[in-house]
Structure 1
Amino acid sequence: MAGVLTMKHRARHLTKTNNVANDGALSLLEPRRLWWSAETVAVVTGGNRGIGFEISKQLAAQGVTVVLTSRDHSVGLEAAKVFQEGGFNVFCHQLDVLDTASITEFCDWLKQNYGGLDILINNAAVNFNQGFDNTVEYASQVITTNYYGTKNMIQAMIPLMKPSAAGARMVNVSSRLGRINGKRSKIEDVCLREKFSNLDTITEELIDQTVSSFLQQVQDGTWESGGWPKTFTDYSVSKLAVNTYTRLMAKMLSDRPEGQKIYINCYCPGWVKTAMTGYAGNISVEAGADTAVWLALLPDLAVTGKFFAERREISF
């Protein structure tokens, strides 16, 4: 199993950090009263390695009950066992975010065993470009996993989000490469940029049509002249879709009554040293996971539909 630490080393690391009460997200939350407890349930997709594993660790270190998911159940169980040996309340369940039956089975299990969830971290994603590569050979898999997988989980989890005075939280792990006007990933189509920039013109159909158009051009071999981002093109398009869908869902969920609020945001962890980057990143997994945990645990969270990096809001 790939990761920054071997499972044995992770167990030692987790045991050492389990008693550090004020690390990570908690440091900026005190002295305000914490809204979560061991009864608070967080689901982390793709939590068996990399950033997902670290997010699970940091949430569990704050006393949250974590359910990490993994496509490979045996790998997920191994990861959960490492946490449990370190004294953390972490469990695993198999989940394929692209398989309707798998999602349905997971929802049933989650409801039966926990009554739902309080926090959703959409971390499961793929990327096949490394270094200076910019192949779109796996574009369909990238778009389907990163965008449609995230969308599938959001829609499936909304009915299971527990009522809470603090509000339920959804955090989508995304990327600056998905920014509308990013220096390295700007969409050249001015009209399309304007539509994506204006929340009033954003629709699910617009997002779906955009990624479908991109995939059609990939199939036709015309994508290079289509005005798409020049860096990690397929990954950038997938994260543009995630960022935009986050804004759309925040708008759609905004009229929920008090006690049933769901706050949804996305964030960029940076170029993290994980298997996804070929361990070529310049940011540790600890730092990469920090903003996700910070967003998930903020007390009295009144912000939604925003994009963050290093605990700061950045523009879409």
Structure 2
Amino acid sequence: MAEECLKTNYYGTKKVTEALLPLLQLSISARIVNVSSIFGQLYYIKNEKVRAELESIDSLTEDKIDDILQLFLRDFKEDRLKANGWPMTMSAYKVSKAVINAYTRLTAKKFPSIPVNCVHPGYCATDITLNIGHLTPQEGAQAPVMVALLPDGGPSGLYFDRMDVSPF
């Protein structure tokens, strides 16, 4: 289950981004908006080494992200999440969103002409949340649309908690 979550949330996002980047680079007004989650904030990862690696945009690479994910999966399979500072609840989801946030910053750095940001849309009432979120899907769509429509030359490499810039 953890591996599927990482494949969908992180590797799926990465593959779609890589596939679209050649086309986006041809556009005069390209944008990349990755849908993240408040649960992707580094606050939820207590492993100081992993946090430091994900925070350090100057030394972060895609290979380092892959290494972090392999470390997480090993600890998950060996039932060592708590001992090694990983989230105990929704662990794969939280880690997948944390690395999406890191990948967003890395992509923004690699492609400075394209604004690349990530956004937490809010807790939406959808099938996946068993309809217990406090926002409608339409309300949840407002934040990603707002980030996508930021003016040319706008911010890049940021995390938005709904409509506001927030720390990673």
Normalised by the shorter chain, which TM-score bucket?
over 0.9
Aligned to 1:299, the other structure's residue is in SS state coil
CA deviations on 1:264-295 (whole Å, 9 max, x unpaired) are 11000111101111111111212211011111
Answer with 215-224 or 150-159: which moved more. 215-224
User: How many corresponding residue pairs?
Assistant: 168
- Over 6 Å off, 4+ runs: none
**2:2 counterpart of 1:139:** yes
Which of residues 86, 91, 116 is equivalent to 1:264? Answer: 116
TM-score, normalised relative to structure 1: 0.51
Q: Does 1:203 align with 2:61?
A: yes
Aligned residue type for 1:171: V
Map of 1:238 onto structure 2? 96
- Pairing of 1:45-60 with structure 2 (within 5 A): none
Q: Where does structure 2 lack aligned partners over 5 or more consecutive residues?
A: none
Distance in 1 between residues matched to 2:153 and 2:36, nearest whole Å: 20
Q: Is contact 2:104–2:117 with CA below 8 Å preserved after alignment?
A: yes
Partner of 1:193: 51
TM-score by length of 2: 0.93
Counterpart of 1:140 in structure 2: which amino acid?
E
- Give the structure with higher Rg (CA): 1
Pairwise mapping of residues 91-110 of structure 1 onto structure 2 (< 5 A)? none
Higher relative contact order (Cα pairs below 8 Å, separated by 6+ residues) = 2
Identify which of 140, 156, 160 aligns with 2:19. Answer: 156
Tell me the secondary structure at the aligned position of residue 168 of structure 1. coil
* Partner Cα separation in structure 2 for residue 204 and residue 160 of structure 1: 21
Deviation sequence 1:229-251 (CA, Å, 0-9, x none)? 23311100000110000000100
Q: Indicate which of 179, 183, 187 corresponds to 2:41.
A: 179
Alpha-carbon spacing, 1:162–1:204, altered in 2? closer, same or farther (3 Å): closer
Question: Are 2:160 and 1:297 aligned?
Answer: no
| Cα distance in 2 between the residues matched to 1:223 and 1:293 | 35
Q: Among 105, 108, 124, which residue is 1:247 paired with?
A: 105
Select 1:282's aligned residue among 125, 131, 134.
134
Distance 2:81 2:25 in 1: 43
Helix, strand or coil: the match of 1:223?
A: coil
Given that 2:25 and 2:114 are in contact with CA atoms closer than 8 Å, whether structure 1 keeps it comes out as no
**Cα deviation, residue 296, structure 1:** 1.2
Q: Is the 8 A contact 2:115 2:157 kept in 1?
A: yes
Deviations 1:94-130 (A, max 9, x none): xxxxxxxxxxxxxxxxxxxxxxxxxxxxxxxxxxxxx
Q: Distance in 2 between matches of 1:231 and 1:219?
A: 15
Tell me, what secondary structure is at the counterpart of 2:155?
coil
Counterpart position of 1:212:
70
SS of alignment partner, residue 225 of structure 1: coil
Aligned to 1:226: 84
Paired letter, 1:287: E
| Equivalent runs, 1:60-71 vs 2, <5 Å | none
Does residue 310 of the first structure (1) align with residue 168 of the second (2)?
Answer: no
Query: How far 1:162 sits from its partner (Å)?
Result: 5.6
Deviation at 1:149, TM superposition (A): 0.3
Give the structure with the higher percent helix. Answer: 2
Q: For the residues of structure 2 that align with 1:207 and 1:139, how far apart are their CA atoms?
A: 16
Identity %: 38
In structure 1, runs of 5+ residues without a counterpart are: 1-137, 255-260
Secondary structure at 2:116 match in 1: strand
